[in-house]
Amino acid sequence: MRTIVTVLLGLIVGLHAASADAAMSIKLGVVTKPGSAQNIAAEKFKALIEARSQGEISVQIFHSASLGNETEILQQVQMNTIQMAVVTGGPFDTFDPVARVINYPFLFKGYDQVDQVLDGPLGAEVLKSLEGSGFKGLCFSENGFRNLTNNRRPVKSPDDIAGLKVRVMASTIHKEIWKALGANPTPMPWPIYTELEQGVIDGQENPLWVLEVYKFYEIQKYLTLTRHVYSYHIDVASLKWWNTLDAKRQQMIQAAMCEAARLQRQDNRDQNETRLALLKEKGMLVEEAPDIDAFRAKVAGLKDTEVYSDPKVRDLLQRMISATR
């Protein structure tokens, strides 16, 4: 009898230990605050994976730059200090120059092209390339098309940009775009409300949701719908951590993240018309028909510069340009 009891106790303890081992907590970092595009993608992922795993997998979201700027967040993903992140595409180009291909100015004519490219083989090449830098690229969510705001003057053509001090991300290609357009590009980590308010910078460039959520309409008077770059997020995991997971968990996590990304992208696009109306209502003066051909001509030479000199990067850029003509 004592032997049976001992065996049963051993089984109970073993089952408890196995259950504890099965539980998993994922730390996920984003630089922006709740209500932002990155946070929406992260929250949708959290809801999906916790429901589908029946609580076996939990997600803790670190937002509002609590882990540092986006470059610092990516460094923590590399080291497996945190397991996942939703990060704007720009900062990735300091880790892997292949990522800057998607940031090529005026590459996409609209969201249909975006989805066709990023959800297809060309997008998969970008995600796969990140493994060389210690990231498991899962999928793409989005900020949307970027537009210029400033507090100095209306901007209709590149001539109007001359000398404007424009905040840009810590990204080689973003700096080169604004140099080519005649601005004074100023790399600066997020957030930037105070710097705009105090006149440290004249303007910035971001999708419409940023102007709404961060209330830039309070401190920026002019908005130009340049749509110069499609701003994507790469939803990544630490490759070091990813390789410790079994195939079932890998599939579950990637499926949940990619569904969250698709939902977030559509949600973001559905709100843009309402956002533009709100920004006008708040007093922003909007240039809805800038001279896009003139803007495009100013940056056309970037594909032949050192920014895209790496043969692997140049080849992928040419194939993306061909796919979006």
Q: How confident is the model at residue 90 (pLDDT cuts 50, 70, 90)?
A: confident
| Residue 137 and residue 127 in contact, taking contact as beta carbons nearer than 8 Å | yes
Q: What is the widest separation between alpha-carbon atoms in the chain? A: 91
The whole-chain average pLDDT of the chain stands at 93
**Rounded CA gap, 16 and 80, in Å?**
27
- In order, the DSSP letters of 265-280 are HHHHHHTHHHHHHHHH
Q: How confident is the model at residue 59 (pLDDT cuts 50, 70, 90)?
A: very high
Amino acid at residue number 163: G
**Rounded CA gap, 255 and 123, in Å?**
16
- In order, the DSSP letters of 35-74 are TSHHHHHHHHHHHHHHHHTTTSEEEEEE-TTTT-SHHHHH
Distance in Å from the first CA to the final CA of the chain: 79
pLDDT of residue 15: 38
Q: How far is CA 228 from CA 41, 103, 293, in A?
A: 23, 9, 11
Residue 206 CA neighbour count, 13 Å, CB half:
25
Backbone angles phi, psi at 196, to 5 degrees: -70, -45
Residue 21 has pLDDT above 80, yes or no: no
**Rounded CA gap, 50 and 222, in Å?**
43
- In order, the DSSP letters of 169-192 are -S-HHHHHHHHHTT-EEEE-PSP-
Q: What is the pTM of this model?
A: 0.88
Domains observed in the chain = 24-323 (3.40.190.170)
Joined together, the tokens standing for residue 35 give 């209500």
Q: How confident is the model at residue 11 (pLDDT cuts 50, 70, 90)?
A: very low
pLDDT of residue 283: 98
Q: How confident is the model at residue 10 (pLDDT cuts 50, 70, 90)?
A: very low
| Residue 324 and residue 117 in contact, taking contact as beta carbons nearer than 8 Å | yes
Q: What percent of the chain has pLDDT over 90?
A: 89
Residue 299 has pLDDT above 60, yes or no: yes
pLDDT of residue 2: 45
Q: How confident is the model at residue 29 (pLDDT cuts 50, 70, 90)?
A: very high
**Rounded CA gap, 170 and 192, in Å?**
13
Joined together, the tokens standing for residue 250 give 């890998």
Amino acid at residue number 111: Y
